[in-house]
Every structure is written in structure tokens, then in C-alpha cells.
Amino acid sequence: KKVILTCAQPTGQLHLGNYFGALRNWASMIDDYECFFGIVDQHAITLPYVPAELRQATYRNLALYIACGLDPSKCHLFCQSHIIGHTELAWVLGCLCPIGQLERMTQFKDKSQREDSGFIGAGLLNYPVLMAADILLYNADRVPVGEDQKQHVELCRDLAIKFNNTYSETFRVPEVYIPKTGARIKSLQDPLKKMSKSDANQSGCVYLLDSPKTIRKKIRSAVTDSGSEVRAGKDKPGITNLLTIFSSATGRSVEDLEKQFEGSQYGPFKDAVADAVINALEPIQAKYEEIHNDKAYLDSVFKQGAEVAQKRAYKMISKVYRKAGFAPRT
Ligand code: TYM
């Protein structure tokens, strides 16, 4: 079976962008591929954070992964810091990575500009190297991500090729896989920006655990465009985003939805979008409720994932260290 690997950071809460752009597609792959899904806590410390919240978010995300359909008996769910190998490989790869390439990463530029404490740690710059290590450690064939991570996966490919050329053929060069719809869900308050956990305006972001009432409120107050037609288009970023969300939540095409809402006002359309989102999230929230307090169960899932992941990681690190010329451990 081909290997899939992808991860999400346990910072803040998972939102609709993470679900439509990521988790839902991951769940559709678990029968056909060997899948590794990570909760990357080491990535989450690249910006200022609160340790207790990180720990809590790690468990919450695990429960949400499972609730979104990532059945732990069919895939490997792991916590990055539980596996020895991610940072080790990142070090070796980092020594091959030109600083300039890291400085040019769009996300680094965005995040370092936004960081108002004025402190930018080396971790934030090195973050894409750690991400490359996450992928290469398991020799992933394919990396499903939303549009915003594409550049990082390309860097990973460059580093894999560079390592293979510098030492010898070691890593598979992974392919990026971007879903057709939902790859770029926008903020409800600023449809030119992506929906993001780090957005200062929380009402632009629908979290997977928001109550139906909150979801309706956020969608009703979504920024819309001039005119009153319900149709997608460059001149209508707000409505286009709502149509994308509607389409992602129901599986219906945007054209089909445009037809249904021809002549309709924004109000009833938004209510229908809210209904669709509430319906799509209902089973996830129910499953989450059932498991999220069962710490022993969640720990056992992490343990099971770590056993498989650690074996793979150890094998890869041993190979990499040998090629790098490190003396063997005796
Ligand atoms: P993160 O935690 O920001 O997001 C997790 C996944 O959700 C996707 N996503 C979106 N998709 C559509 N619309 C949006 N508004 C939206 N916001 C987020 C992201 O593209 C991602 O697929 N660096 C990564 C985590 C990571 C990783 C990896 C991913 C670490 N190591 C190895 C793949 C492979 C990140 O910060 O994702």
C-alpha cells in the first residue's frame, strides 16, 4: 500500500477550513492507503503559546480526528513529540537547506510580520524543515494538504532530492495532494483571507465544536458582497466562499446550488448554508462528546500509533545517520 502522511497543529481549535480542506479528505483515504496522521505539537511551539492549553488541544484534536472518521484501527494516529526522529531528521535536513529558501516562505513572512511581541524564534524559520522531516521520516508517497501548505511540501520535495543527490537514494519524493473543493475556505469576516485559527476576528471562523446557535449566528453575519444575486465569481468573494462551504458540506456542485438560489435573497441563502453546516457537523460533535473525556482511551490510541510510527522512524533515522557518516551506535 502507498503511504499517506499529513498533520495538523494543535493550536487553537480545528475549524471548517481544517475539516473541508483536510480531515474529511484524510478520512476518505484510510481504506486504500497506509495512513499516518500526526498531531504536531512540536510545530505548535514556534509561536508564543500556553503549555497547559497545548496539552489540552492535543487531546481535543485527537478526539476530533477520531470523530471526523479517522478510525484508529485503520490508520496510525500519533503525537509528534512521542516519536524520536522528527527533530533528529529535521537537523540533518536543515543542514542542507539554504536559509534564503526559508526566508522566502509565504507563511514565514506572514507570521513573522504578524508576530506583535517582536520576537521571532529560529523555530519559526525552521518550521518547514521540521515539516519536511515529518513527511520523509515515513517515506510518504502522498501528502494531502490545503492550498496554504503547498509551498512547504514543495520545499520538502527539494530537500528529499537534495539529500538523495548529496548522499545516495534514500527518500521517496512525495507528491502534494490538494482537494478539488474546500482547499481554501475563507474567513467569513474577510473572504479575501483564509479561515484561520490565528485570526483575531473569531466570528470569521466556524469551529468544529461550535454550537448550532453559534454556527447560525456566524454564518448569518458573514460579510457579503454588493448586489443581491447568489452566484460565484471574482467580484463576489463572500458569496463564493459561502457557496464553497455549502458545496463542501453537502457534496452538491456550486452550479447546482446557484440554480436553486436563483432569485433568492442573501438571508434565506445564508440560513440554508447554516443548516448544511450544522447537519454536517452534527455526527462529528456527537462522536466527540462520546469520547473526549475518556483520557485512558485517547492515551491508548496515542500509544498504539506511537508503536508503529516509532519503529518506522527508528529505521529511517538509522539509515540517514549511516549515510550522513555518523559512527554507528553499539
Ligand atoms: P495547519 O495545522 O495549519 O492545518 C491543518 C490542515 O488544514 C488545512 N487548512 C485549510 N484548508 C482549507 N482552508 C483553510 N482555511 C485551511 N486552514 C488550514 C491545511 O492546509 C492543513 O492541511 N504545517 C502544517 C502542519 C504539518 C504538516 C506536516 C502537514 C506539520 N507537518 C506534514 C502535512 C505534512 C500546518 O500548520 O497545518
Is 111 tagged catalytic? yes
**pLDDT tens-digit profile of 235-246?**
999 999 999 999
**Residues 14, 281: Cα–Cα separation, whole Å:** 12
194 is catalytic: yes
Active-site residue identified among 186, 197, 236, 270: 197
Comparing CA positions, the residue from 232, 231, 210, 206 lying closest to residue 219 is 206
**Ligand 1 lined by 247 (C-beta under 6 Å):** no
Q: Is 97 helix (H, G, I), strand (E, B) or coil?
A: coil
Q: What is the pTM of this model?
A: 0.93
pLDDT tens digits, one per residue of 299-330: 999 999 999 999 999 999 999 999 999 999 88
Alpha-carbon gap, residue 115 to 291, rounded angstroms:
35
Q: What is the DSSP string of 125-192?
A: HHHHHHHHHHHHTTT-SEEE--GGGHHHHHHHHHHHHHHHHHS-S----PEEE--SSSTTPBPSS-TT
Sheet containing strand 3-8, edge to edge, reads 76-79, 34-39, 3-8, 142-144, 175-177
Place 65 in a pLDDT band, splitting at 50, 70 and 90.
Answer: very high
Reported as a single tens digit per residue, the pLDDT across 76-90 is 999 999 999 999 999
Tell me what pLDDT residue 119 has. Answer: 86
Ligand 1, atom 20, lies closest to the CA of: 146
Report the distance separating Cα 73 and Cα 54, nearest Å. Answer: 25
- CB-ligand 1 contact for 185 (6 Å cutoff): yes
Residue 11 DSSP class: S
Evaluate if residue 183 carries a pLDDT over 90. Answer: no
Q: Give the cell for residue 104.
A: 522566502
How would residue 109 be classed by pLDDT, with cut points 50, 70 and 90?
Answer: very high
What ipTM goes with this model? Answer: 0.98
